[in-house]
Amino acid sequence: MTKEQYFEWVTVRAQGRIKLQQRKNADYTGIGNNPFENFTRVEALGICSTEQGFLTRMTDKMCRITSFVQKGILEVKDESVDDTLNDLAAYCDLMAAYVESKRGAMLDTVTEEVMNEPMPWCYPTYKETVKNEETKFDTATDDALDYTHTSMQRACIGEHDGRGTGTDDNY
């Protein structure tokens, strides 16, 4: 595959994923206009933060992929590895949009500069290095991401501390 073929492949795949996200999001969020409605419910119910809800779902997908890599097969035949990878990508898109919306950005006027800006929550030293209060996340978000960093590592090797949510393709 050449670079040109790769980017064409990614474009087609992303377009298909957008259509699937629109259908699944309509099923999971109901009649309202909030694309994150099903993820924010875990926080409203006192189960965990919305961010932990996103990361739990992402971890579920990572564990399924890990299982496939380790065993070479999947027991559930009606969801392929490709489906799981698309689900993971969709969760990444949703969480990135949610984090951006929490930061106060207007999603309909996002500029190329903002889209290319690194997501500060990806870096372990974020809390220690960011001094600008405009971009600093609230304490709940920071705590959720700190907790989830080690939880994601434990989840894929079978450890569990009893917190989190169930599994489902909730986008």
DSSP readout, 109-135? G--HHHHHS--GGGSTTHHHH---TTT
Q: Please, what is the end-to-end C-alpha distance for the chain in angstroms? A: 31
Does 134 fall in a domain? yes
pLDDT tens for 151-165 read: 444 444 444 444 443
**Pairwise CA distance, residues 38 & 25, whole Å:** 9
Query: Is the distance from CB of 46 to CB of 159 less than 8 angstroms?
Result: no
Does 166 fall in a domain? no
Does 169 fall in a domain? no
Reply yes or no on whether the pLDDT at 149 is more than 70.
no
**Pairwise CA distance, residues 75 & 170, whole Å:** 21
Q: Which residues contact 81 (CB under 8 A, 6 or more apart)?
A: 65, 68, 74
Query: Count of domains in the chain?
Result: 1
Tokens linked to 42? 């875990």
Does 161 fall in a domain? no
* Residue 8: per-residue pLDDT: 96
Average pLDDT for residues 99-106, to the nearest whole number?
77
pTM over 0.85: no
More confident residue, 165 or 42: 42
Does 167 fall in a domain? no
- Domain of 98? 3-155
Does 164 fall in a domain? no
Confidence of residue 133 (pLDDT cuts 50, 70, 90): very low
* Residue 31: per-residue pLDDT: 86
